[in-house]
């Protein structure tokens, strides 16, 4: 790629799904770049300057946290030494069936771009504990880190709730679609139903989803329905007929056909695999 191209960074080593590290304490103007298929949480305790994300330019006002989604373009212009932590992770780090609460927390968190901390409330201890455990990398480190992340994400969401400076209408179409998926799926199954609620066309919604997630809106809806199906299968005693009804399928045979096409096995076989 030439000097005028937009660089795509990958800070995760081969096979790694999660990483935490101190923010680089240097002053330099970074080139506009994107991140490769991972989320990035940037916690700044100290620093001055500017942070540009897509077309929005933020004045660095510490303490604060930024949440970058896969494929978002951003760059920094610091005027003083920055200090803090960077957490990066891929979707696959979390088991969306067994860790559904944690997965929902970070999906809700991803609806925010920036959250400011009240004075003296920077989560230094939590971040340091996660970093220490990540470096230790011993038995039980992963569940310990996930427990700490759950607490961290919850605290951030509580702060975001109290931040009235950013109205919901400023959310991008893709983020509003993600929010609707969590709220209305599996009651709704069709892309045109979501598009109508978002005041857009199915074609525009598909274009947006392919740009942001490299998947069509229909694929994202199907993934969400499949996730809900797995939760019912593994965490309830509901029959296949009952689950089909709870997931708004017209009948059990359509639900079984959908599940087998997506997962390669029937709901009954999937449940048996986990409860032998």
pLDDT in tens, 253-270: 999 999 999 999 999 998
Q: Residue 47 in contact with residue 78, Cβ under 8 Å? A: yes
- The neighbour count for residue 79, using CB atoms within 10 Å, is 12
- Per-residue confidence at 164, pLDDT binned at 50, 70, 90? very low
- Per-residue confidence at 41, pLDDT binned at 50, 70, 90? very high
User: Which domains are seen in the chain, by residue range?
Assistant: 9-162 (2.60.120.280), 172-274 (1.10.10.60)
Give the pLDDT of residue 110: 86
- Per-residue confidence at 161, pLDDT binned at 50, 70, 90? confident
φ, ψ for residue 35, nearest 5 deg: -110, 145
pLDDT, tens digit, 9 for 90 and up, residues 85-118? 999 998 889 888 888 889 889 888 888 889 999 8
What is 79-113 written as a DSSP string? EEEEEEEEEEE-GGGS-TTTTHHHHHHHHHHTT-S
pLDDT, tens digit, 9 for 90 and up, residues 55-71? 788 888 899 999 998 87
Q: Residue 115 in contact with residue 163, Cβ under 8 Å? A: yes
What's the Rg (C-alpha) of the chain?
Answer: 20
Average pLDDT of 207-236?
Answer: 87
- Is the confidence at residue 174, as pLDDT, over 60? yes
- Is the confidence at residue 2, as pLDDT, over 50? no
Residues near 194 by beta carbon (within 8 Å), at least 6 away in sequence: 177, 180, 181, 184, 188, 205, 217, 221
Average pLDDT of 223-248?
Answer: 89
Give the pLDDT of residue 12: 65
Distance (Å, whole) CA 139 – CA 125? 21
Report how far apart the first and last C-alpha atoms of the chain are (Å, whole number). 52
- Is the confidence at residue 1, as pLDDT, over 50? no
The per-residue pLDDT of the chain, averaged, comes to: 86
In this structure, what DSSP letter does residue 138 have? -
Token code pair at residue 159: 């702060």
């Amino acid at each position: 790629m030439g000097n005028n191209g937009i660089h795509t960074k990958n800070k995760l080593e081969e096979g790694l799904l999660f990483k935490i590290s101190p923010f680089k304490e240097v002053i330099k103007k970074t080139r506009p770049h994107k991140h490769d298929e991972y989320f990035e949480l940037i916690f700044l305790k100290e620093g001055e300057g500017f942070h540009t994300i897509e077309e929005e330019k933020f004045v660095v006002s510490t303490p604060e946290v930024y949440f970058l989604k896969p494929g978002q373009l951003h760059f920094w212009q610091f005027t003083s030494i920055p200090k803090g932590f960077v957490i990066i992770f891929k979707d696959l780090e979390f088991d969306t069936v067994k860790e559904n609460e944690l997965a929902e927390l970070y999906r809700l968190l991803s609806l925010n771009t920036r959250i400011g901390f009240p004075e003296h409330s920077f989560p230094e201890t939590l971040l340091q504990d996660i970093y220490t455990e990540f470096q230790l990398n011993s038995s039980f480190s992963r569940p310990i880190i996930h427990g700490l992340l759950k607490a961290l994400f919850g605290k951030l969401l509580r702060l975001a709730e109290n931040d009235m400076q950013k109205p919901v209408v400023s959310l991008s179409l893709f983020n509003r679609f993600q929010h609707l998926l969590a709220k209305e799926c599996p009651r709704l199954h069709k892309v045109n139903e979501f598009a109508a609620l978002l005041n857009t066309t199915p074609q525009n919604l598909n274009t947006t989803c392919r740009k942001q997630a490299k998947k069509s809106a229909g694929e994202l809806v199907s993934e969400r329905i499949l996730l809900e199906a797995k939760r019912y299968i593994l965490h309830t005693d509901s029959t296949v007929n009952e689950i089909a009804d709870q997931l708004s399928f017209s009948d059990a045979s359509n639900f079984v056909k959908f599940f087998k096409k997506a997962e390669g096995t029937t709901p009954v076989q999937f449940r048996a695999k986990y409860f032998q």
